[in-house]
Amino acid sequence: MKAVTWRAFGPAQDVLRVETLETPTPAAGEVLVRVAFSGANPSDVKARGGARPGVTKPPFEVIVPHSDGAGVIEAVGAGVDAARVGERVWLWNGQWQRAFGTCAEYIAVPEAQAVTLPDSASLEDGAVLGIPGLTAAQTVFGGGDVSGQTILVAGGGGAVGYLAVQLAVWGGAQVIATCGARDEDRVKAVGAEVVLRYDSPTLAADILAATGGAGVDRAVEVELGSNLALLCEVMKPLGTIAAYGSAKDMAPAMPFGPMLFKALKLDITLIYILPLAERLAAIAKLHDALLAGALRFEPANVFEIEAAAEAHEMVEAGGRTGAVLVKL
């Protein structure tokens, strides 16, 4: 099979290669998926670039990148229902603590990691449901029903934020989103009731005004360190900050006093280690939203396998709309 590989940390053009590897055989409890699209995410490019704190060498001799993807089950291992052959599926944790991820023509994974893709979703859309989709679902619904709540989504134009806005609207919440000027119309179009510039000097006052002074029940936060002080101003007492990123400040100072006197809860999501029960609940929310026609996916940026390095460079550059996929 053809596969994208890397063996050393470094720039994408220097270390990513297309190689011929042996097609895997599904072990007991596994399925073999012929991959149609492999999703590239920031975590993939950081791992390849050697940007993880404390990691000084690759964890495996040869690595096939990417955790997200979608395709069709071609074979099953012992103990797996043969009726699954031919099933369209989307994949999660394809390369989490494993050498071989989804950026190859085939991948063998435990059958639970190959989730039946609803008929209404394309394979391209399926390749977005892993990291972005599950993160959005967990940060929005991880505390339960959001109907009637006010939810603040930071970075509503980003991959996770864009889906989080839609899921929160579908869940019956009033949604306030922040984003850059370019994304205002996009984010409004998917249901955010109020859209504000993330760099506005009056952002806290504007958020509070949008809630009639009551504040926010739940915040879906992409940059915790940069926004923690603002969140202390705009959250309701007993509110929850559901954070999934803090790239600009990975060691933020915690304003414990303001957090204490509002009894704010900090709920950090790392989707790779989400317990199975919570993962299944997030998957159910995604599928229900898909079946309800409540999720809109923007056209993906699709690269042929030979251009996988360019896909990684697009992810690193940021500022894009639509997923970055490698077509297998």
Say what the pLDDT of residue 53 is: 77
CATH number for the segment(s) 132-272: 3.90.180.10
pLDDT tens digit string along 115-171? Answer: 999 999 999 999 999 999 999 999 999 999 999 999 999 999 999 999 999 999 999
What residues does CATH 3.90.180.10 cover in the chain?
2-128+297-327, 132-272
> With 90 as the cut, is the pLDDT of residue 251 above it?
yes
User: How many Å apart are CA 170 and CA 190, to the nearest integer?
Assistant: 10
> With 90 as the cut, is the pLDDT of residue 178 above it?
yes
pLDDT class of 44 with cuts at 50, 70, 90: very high
pLDDT tens digit string along 258-310? Answer: 999 999 999 999 999 999 999 999 999 999 999 999 999 999 999 999 999 99
Q: Record the pTM.
A: 0.97
Say what the pLDDT of residue 116 is: 98
CATH 3.40.50.1000 fits 2-128+297-327, yes or no: no
pLDDT tens digit string along 63-79? Answer: 999 999 999 999 999 99
